[in-house]
Chains A and B, each alone.
Chain A
Amino acid sequence: MISDYHIDSLDRSEVLRYLGYRGQAMTPELDARVDGVIAHCLEVGRPRGSVRTFEVAGWATMADGLPELRLAGTSLTLQGHSMEEHMAGAVAVGVLAVTAGMGVERELRRLAVADPVAQAIFDAAGTTLVERAADAAEAQLVALARERGLYTNFRFSPGYGDLPLSCQPVLLSTLDAQRRLGITLTDTLLMTPTKSVTAVVGMFRDRQPSTHRTCRGCPCFDFCTLRPTGVTCHG
């Protein structure tokens, strides 16, 4: 399922946080420049994503002793102790890939030469944008889980904990992400556009300690399709 996410604003304080902002006094020029760059990022960005869910097929132990979660209908497997913990008791797994788009990447390359100050701010804005897109994709998975009466935990990305980056090629092809989203991998398994995120979300029969307790402060709030229908994911 491919979705375009309509994101028309970014949390300025989050952009500044990525830049190491801790309340320093800014000149009006810098202030305006940050706003201008954020607006520009939203203009060239094309946040898009793809999600799918797979049933848990079972756990196995690999030759090196690490646990491996197998899923039905895909050759994607999730290896390591981080997944053992994150997916303990999961009955299904949601997989997501999102990107801010190649326009953002092109602009990052141009600014590297044309305006390094703007590049740094643009980079932070791009990160904020793609994280917003990931929130939107996660909201889709939360809704898909809820349709089946399942509860989700939170998104977990390859490269964190001991979930290896080596699952990236299969994860991306599972979502047909090159063709549908334009996400490619370097031989060191980094994604281009660099402002792209992949992640997996556990789906459980029982409420999880990490299941959002309240809608307030939920990162998925703006993208939630449940709340308007009078339902909540923690419900």
Chain B
Amino acid sequence: MADTSASSDKTYAQRLVESLPEGRLTPRQLRVKDDHLARALAGEDFLLLDGAMGTQLQARGLAAGELPELLNLTKPEEVTAIHRAYVEAGSEVVTANTFGANALKLNNSWTVRRVVEEGVRCARASGARYVAADLGPTGALLEPMGTLPFEKAYRLFADQVQAADAAGADLFVIETMADLAETKAALLAVTENSDLPAFVTMTFDEDGRTFLGTTPEVAAVTLSALGASAVGINCSLGPADVAPLVERMLPWADCPVMAQANAGLPRVVDGTTVYDIKPAEYCEAVAGMLDAGVTIIGGCCGTTPEYIAAEKKLLAGRVPAPRKLRDCFTVTSAQELCALEPGQVGVIGERINPTGKKRMKEALRSGNHDYIMGLAISQTKDGAQILDVNAGLPEIDEGAEICRLVSELQGVTTLPLQIDAADPAVIEAAVRSYPGKALINSTNGKADVMAAVLPIAKHYGCAIVGLALDEEGIPKTAQGRLDIARKIVGRAEELGIPRQDIAIDCLTMACSTDQTAPRAILDGIRLVKRELPGVRTVLGVSNISFGLPFRPLVNATFLSAALSAGLDLAIVNPGTQRMMDVVHSWRVLSGEDESAQYYVAHFADRSDKVAPAGASPAAGGVGGSVTSVVGTSDGTSAPATREDQVRELVLAGRKGPVPEAVAGLLDSHDTMYVINQVLIPALDEVGARFEKGTFFLPQLMASAEAAKAGFEVIRQRNAGTGEAGPAKGKVIVCTVHGDIHDIGKNIVRMLLENYGYDVVDLGRDVPPETVAEACERDHVELVGLSALMTATVPAMRETIELLRKRCPWAKVVVGGAVLTPEYAKMVGADFYAKDATETARIAGEILG
């Protein structure tokens, strides 16, 4: 988790922004060594880099597992000799031996500054025209999949960048990257700490994705928007396999595209590593890339000066091939590109927004984001292409919360996100570490807002929504809206934001208060599309029907009209079938859904006929319909009473029929009866069976899941009546710092929630301070800590010590694979729980 804990009066976003280099948002003036490099950066000249360093060092006796960068200090003449051989073969750029020269990998052996300085010196001594400082991966995986915080990765790279700039490098090569977040950290480290150009290459697998799932298109869009001077591919594969992947980058990168492939695949022959592709064959594939528009080449693992000499020959007499860029509106996540050609329409899911949504507010306040993750999953399933994320509640730290959400959402959806916030610091905090090209919602025509938000969009390579309002408010007329749009687009283009990345929102007003509003909005869309060709439009649709009955119909009609006027992006609830019907049918009418393939596949069986009354399962009698599919957990005859049915469903772990059965029970009984006389006793029985060994883990969990479905029905009923929920008290659970296993913790959480506890799940790898803070804030009486590895038990002790100091009232229960009652005593815990049912029993003891 990002360190989003509060330690001063300032908000998370304010503290973050203050820690960043000043002037990062002012437009960059690149320092380019000479005219040839300038022409290469403009795509007008070729540029020839060098080949492998690592395999060359190994051939000279570098032992496996040694840090190659230390040779800059111990054997500088060997390093320079390798560079010189490349220069003699024709390399214009040599890449200094600084790939892994970061503080994490050097691990206190030498300072970063010293190793980088010597690396640049070795490269310079070769007589190369340009020296590139090399930045490779940190070696640790970034959050949320790993544990390295984005800003720590940034810091590691920034140290390398500052050292290399001071040592006189001419440019940076960021290479062999698999993680888009880490790549972004490295690129920002360059753009914020140096005025030198940065070339960025990622490494792809045969399936066309990096280890972390990024595609060539996503890399090209995201990194070129972020200010890379060139993007491309290195390592991983031989040139014939790299060629189709690098060609996929060409239409999406508005900068030169580069390729440094391996000399095929490594094989071990008689104890030495050899590569199977020779220079001639290598160049054949490179020639194809040049024809397609690649202009910067070189080599990676297994290539030698021989390959570079062959490439130099290949370039002789050639001129860069022309390239054609797509003019799509684009946003990305680390794994998915959302690209809209002119005329295509996109759907932005609106539901992750607390405005007017009680349950969402609750989720944001409590920090329990399950509900929000559920919204993301359902909107993804329902056909959204971008998800809006808004965490604006006055009583919470919005920046901290939106960063947490953005991080957690990556775990459940691959859709690109729209960052929806008003405070520029919050926007910057959210888009900075977001691994992709986000859509910012929003700027508007006010001078101070444009001055604050547009530079953020430019610096972080985001697309942006521009609201058609300014100091004078929302214009009444279409022309007024256009005037503001023109102002926003003009200012954005001055900063270098391309117009296809701008979406103007003509702002929906309620039709019930002003019936001329809809026409002004629709005309506004038409005018913007006509007068500012290339600019996109976006609209939150549902406000139109405010104050009217049967709103979905008005919304849908308005959406059709807006699409017809030229709307590109609709912000809607994709769970509303009527709205998605409009979108899907419009795509047929506009020609976007070619040959109506999607429509035919999904709507062939749809009908307007209303199902006859009583046909829906909910309308059937509970007794009949449920029993027929229930059976019993022990295979005996069907249960007699409704209570028995629910009990049997929980014991059998069959969540499907539970809601209906519980709803039936609630028709004749109050909620407390259903909880205390039916669900809880069933869970107790599940626990007892688990203890006895007649149930094993998945059965325990499936039962807990079934019970949860029942509690959910009760919760919904209570939300309607305002009756208090069954909450018994708060429990914090987490996996301790340094440990990344969370299965056990998740099981405990599930069970505790079932028993009605309000569980605050802090996640995995949680620092002691975060636990203490959460415990202190809500005066939580019970904390559950989990650890799976012996190595992380000390972190458990630290957490407990801190809790004793700051929250002496709190009891601590510990569990996890390596824990024993003795260990538990040793780390100072109050309780040891051997499994989840034991934890639930302890919670009962402490909290009732």
A residues with CB within 8 A of B: 1-2, 16, 19-22, 24-27, 29-30, 33-34, 52, 54, 73-76, 101-103, 105-106, 109-110, 112-114, 116-117, 119-121, 123, 159, 165, 169-171, 173-175, 178-179, 182, 184-190, 192, 194
Contact = CB atoms under 8 A, between A and B. Distances in A.
Contact of B633 (A27, A52, A103): A27
13 contacts: A22-B696, A27-B653, A73-B64, A75-B65, A102-B145, A105-B145, A113-B377, A114-B377, A170-B65, A174-B65, A188-B789, A190-B791, A192-B141
Interface string B688-706: 0000011111110110010
Contact of B699 (A1, A26, A182): A26
A52 B64 contact: yes
Interface residues of B, number: 61
Given A24-B699, A54-B64, 17 more contacts: A19-B697, A24-B696, A29-B654, A34-B698, A76-B64, A109-B145, A114-B377, A116-B747, A117-B698, A119-B746, A120-B747, A159-B789, A170-B65, A182-B211, A184-B146, A188-B795, A192-B141
A141 B791 CA distance: 29
Given A1-B267, A22-B696, A192 B139 contact: no
A19 to B, nearest CB: 5
Contact of A121 (B266, B411, B698): B698
B560 interface: no
B66 A75 contact: yes
Interface of B: 63-66, 137, 139-141, 144-148, 176, 178, 203, 211-213, 235, 265-268, 370, 373, 377, 408, 411-412, 633-634, 652-654, 693-699, 701-702, 705, 738-743, 746-747, 749-750, 765, 789-792, 795
A186 B795 CA distance: 14
Contacts of B765: 186
A184 B746 contact: no
Ranked nearest first, the 3 interchain pairs of A and B with the lowest CB-CB distance are A182-B211, A188-B738, A174-B65
Nearest to A167: B65
Given A102-B211, A116-B705, A190-B789, A24 B695 contact: yes
Nearest to A166: B791
Nearest to B695: A24
Give the one of B141, B178, B408, B742 with max A CB within 10 A.
Answer: B141
Given A22-B693, A117-B705, A173-B65, A112 B235 contact: no
A106 B145 contact: yes
Nearest to A179: B176
A110 B64 CA distance: 36
B697 A165 contact: no
Contact of B411 (A25, A54, A75, A112): A112
Nearest to B789: A190
A169 B266 CA distance: 22
Contacts of A123: 743
Contacts of B141: 184, 186, 192
A187 B143 CA distance: 13
A26 B66 CA distance: 52
A190 B653 contact: no
A188 B65 contact: no
Contact of A186 (B147, B178, B634, B750): B147
Contacts of B370: 113
Contacts of B792: 188
Contacts of B750: 116
Contact of B739 (A27, A30, A76, A190): A190
Given A1-B266, A106-B213, A179-B235, A184 B139 contact: yes
A5 B747 CA distance: 32
A19 B743 CA distance: 11
A179 B65 contact: no
B649 to A, nearest CB: 11
A234 to B, nearest CB: 25
Contacts of A179: 176, 203, 235
B21 to A, nearest CB: 25
B741 A194 contact: yes
A185 B652 CA distance: 41
A178 B140 CA distance: 9
Nearest to A24: B696
Contacts of A27: 633, 652-654
B64 A119 contact: no
A76 B146 CA distance: 25
A185 B139 contact: yes
Contact of A74 (B63, B741, B789, B790): B63
A173 to B, nearest CB: 5
A109 B144 contact: yes
A186 B104 CA distance: 11
A119 B653 contact: no
B694 A165 contact: no
Contacts of B373: 113-114
Contacts of A73: 63-64
Contacts of A102: 145, 211-213
Contacts of B654: 27, 29
Contact of B412 (A34, A110, A174): A110
Contact of B702 (A117, A119, A178): A117
Give the one of B266, B373, B740 with max A CB within 10 A.
Answer: B740
Nearest to A1: B268
Nearest to B68: A173
Given A102-B213, A123-B743, A184-B140, A74 B699 contact: no
A83 B747 CA distance: 37
B465 to A, nearest CB: 28
Given A173-B65, A174-B64, A21 B696 contact: yes
Contact of B266 (A2, A178, A185): A2
Contact of B653 (A30, A76, A184): A30
A69 B278 CA distance: 38
Contacts of A20: 696-697
A187 B695 contact: no
A139 B252 CA distance: 44
Contacts of A19: 696-698
A184 B141 CA distance: 6
A186 B176 contact: no
Contacts of B65: 74-76, 170-171, 173-174
A188 B739 CA distance: 8
Contact of A182 (B178, B738, B740): B178
B738 A187 contact: yes
A159 B792 CA distance: 12
A124 B408 CA distance: 23
